[in-house]
């Protein structure tokens, strides 16, 4: 990789960290096990893997790395999901980790507008819609008091 591409990748990593942090901030405020640092690491890792697959291994198929990132993040997200008293908890947090990875990948391929827009939509989903749909843990279930 040229120094120019490495400098560009570093800027992409910084952007992926910031965008992922915005998602992690919500999870941190909700007291979830995966918060700001986890989301930032996921977003940056996905960004770095994506950038390396595009620029570091020129003879390789970058889609193979992308599919591996998606699989790995699914495994990480599954570790966040908890079953307590017969109820499933933290599905929203697992989904937000998956979203942070997707945002990191978008930054890694240079789709900065898409990554920024996806972050805004994820933040609206987590922050604004939780007032409409939530259970005792803040995970998405339509709350009875909002149904009328």
Among 137, 135, 127, which residue's Cα sits nearest to residue 145?
135
CA distance 144 to 40: 34
Whole-number pLDDT of residue 144:
42
Contact, 47 vs 13, CB < 8 A? yes
Q: Please report the DSSP string for 30-64 in residue order.
A: TT-SS-HHHHHHHHHHHHHHHHHHHHT-TTS-HHH
| pLDDT tens digits along 29-87 | 888 888 899 999 999 999 999 999 998 888 888 888 888 888 888 888 888 887 777 77
Model confidence, pTM: 0.81
Higher pLDDT, 39 or 143: 39
Return the number of other C-beta atoms located less than 10 Å from residue 116's C-beta.
Answer: 17
Task: Take residue 53 and report the two structure tokens written for it.
Answer: 């697959």
């Amino acid at each position: 990789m040229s120094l120019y591409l490495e400098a560009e990748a570093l800027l992409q990593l910084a952007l992926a960290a910031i965008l992922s942090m915005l998602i992690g901030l919500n999870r941190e405020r909700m007291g979830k096990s995966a918060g700001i640092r986890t989301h930032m690491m996921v977003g940056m890792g996905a960004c770095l893997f994506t950038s390396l697959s595009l620029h570091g291994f020129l003879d390789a198929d970058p889609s193979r790395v992308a599919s591996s990132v998606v699989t790995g993040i699914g495994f990480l997200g599954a570790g966040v999901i908890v079953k307590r008293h017969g109820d499933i908890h933290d599905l929203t947090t697992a989904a937000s980790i998956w979203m942070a990875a997707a945002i990191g990948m978008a930054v890694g391929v240079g789709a900065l507008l898409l990554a920024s827009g996806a972050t805004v939509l994820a933040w609206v989903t987590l922050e604004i819609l939780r007032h409409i749909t939530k259970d005792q843990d803040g995970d998405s279930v339509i709350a009875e008091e909002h149904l009328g």
